[in-house]
Amino acid sequence: MVEKRPNVLWFFTDQQRFDTIAALGNPVIRTPNFDRLAREGVAFTSAYTPSPVCISARCSMIYGQYPLHTGCYENTIMPQDDRPSIMAALTQAGYRTHGIGKCHFSLDLQALRGFQTRDRQEEIVDSPEMDDYLPWLHAKGYAHVCDPHAVRGEMYYIPQVAQMPAEYHPSHWVGNRTVNFIEEHAGGETPWMCFASFIHPHPPFAPPNPWHKLYRAPQMPLPNVPDDYESLWTWINRFQNRYKYRDRGIDLNLLRCMKAYYYASISFVDFQVGRILDALEKVGQLDSTLILFASDHGEHLGDRYCFGKRSFHDSAARVPLLAHLSGRFEGGRTCDEPVSLIDLAPTILGATGAEMPTEQLDGVDLADVAEGRCVREMVFGQHFSGEKASYMAVNRRWKYFYSAPDNREFLFDRAGDPLETRNLAGEASTERSRMKQALIEHLRAGGETSGLDGDDWKTFPTYQLPEDPDEGLIVQDHPWADTNIPGYTN
């Protein structure tokens, strides 16, 4: 008798830091269901994004490739060729594949990219009809809401209460759809893969009532701000602080409130994870399902007085990663070997027996990493290409990254300085040279030479922000929203 292949339940969040799971050391946040996965499965505590921004991270993840092989380095176009995604591989292998929530497929948000079906919920769409969540929300009596995922632009880092009740919140909708999918496919013989992707805790931080009062600002720890914090900034940190309205002064009470609402958004996602795990257990498929949880990148959240993502500081580049499957990922173990989101596709292949062309995979099976069967020493990352690029290499002890717009190197001792308060690039010359050489060899082997000059970094003109503090500020209004006020706006 052929053993039935496991289902795949893939939880994914947007912009969730690595240090936001209670069971893995956060004494403030409440995440009982992530804790359960960590307690019963394997937690990979040195997991990194291949690119610290939404689209390029997701692109690398679904294709199992570093950005130098996908050609996607930012929130730009994903590959338009016929290369197979992990979803396509599972579909080809006979799995029922379904995506729920944010996929952020560029350019076409409607694309399937290997899924058989999707329940779409994206941050910004040209019209409600391009989304599945928006018409549903409007039908519930909330057609007046023109910012369903909270007010962006000027309010990007101003904590907000969601404009709809908890049962209509975007995270709850993803939870409902995932529970429904599990229940609908519980009795079938066909194995399934469900990608349950939450927009939150991506800013603006907007949990629903009463979750916004789960944590109170005065109880929140202040961000990690070393004495010489500006020396740790890169150009992309300054750029993001500007366009997200965060470079005109620091309010520590506001920062604590940000963290409270950010944590509340994560706890509300954790609540959905609990509902979904309960549904899986109820239909008797908990032990026969590969459960993965990760996020595309982190969030600075005021560390070094920076906000957003896009740099290779741990607050933005390091992500949570949990895996659970009886007989493969179990026992409440932790693994501190460096791993990457590019490893998720090979991990799913290893558990399901599906196949992708091996020459197209840069990642490895996390089961091999957890069991000590993998000899890989480092993982790598890249954001942008050429004059704006930054590049990263990480091993168990050290992290090196280079910022081309600043012509600066950074080296952090992960064991001795886990908060990354001191740049050792000018001191630990042997380790800096070794990490740098490995990173440059990685780039050259992948054909990514736009930032190289022989065996060294190419020097570009340094970037400066415009002197006008209002230049570069973003506005992100939904194009379909009616914001006309008769007598005032016309």
Question: Domain spans of the chain?
Answer: 7-373
State both tokens at 145: 């809401």
State both tokens at 203: 């800013």
Task: Note the pLDDT of residue 101.
Answer: 98
Distance CA 488, CA 88 (A): 51
Task: Note the pLDDT of residue 428.
Answer: 86
Task: Note the pLDDT of residue 11.
Answer: 98
Write out residues in the chain with pLDDT < 70, as ranges.
Answer: 1-2
The answer to whether domain 7-373 has CATH 3.40.720.10 is yes
Task: Note the pLDDT of residue 82.
Answer: 87
For residue range 23-58, list pLDDT tens digits in order. Answer: 999 999 999 999 999 999 999 999 999 999 999 999
* Lateral strand order in the sheet of 333-335: 117-120, 96-101, 192-197, 7-13, 289-295, 321-324, 42-44, 333-335
- 436, 256, 327: which is closest to 40 by C-alpha? 327
For residue range 388-439, list pLDDT tens digits in order. Answer: 999 999 999 999 999 999 999 999 999 999 999 999 999 989 999 999 999 9
Distance CA 216, CA 230 (A): 28
Q: State which amino acid sits at residue 386.
A: G
Task: Note the pLDDT of residue 1.
Answer: 36
Task: Note the pLDDT of residue 4.
Answer: 85
Q: State which amino acid sits at residue 192.
A: W
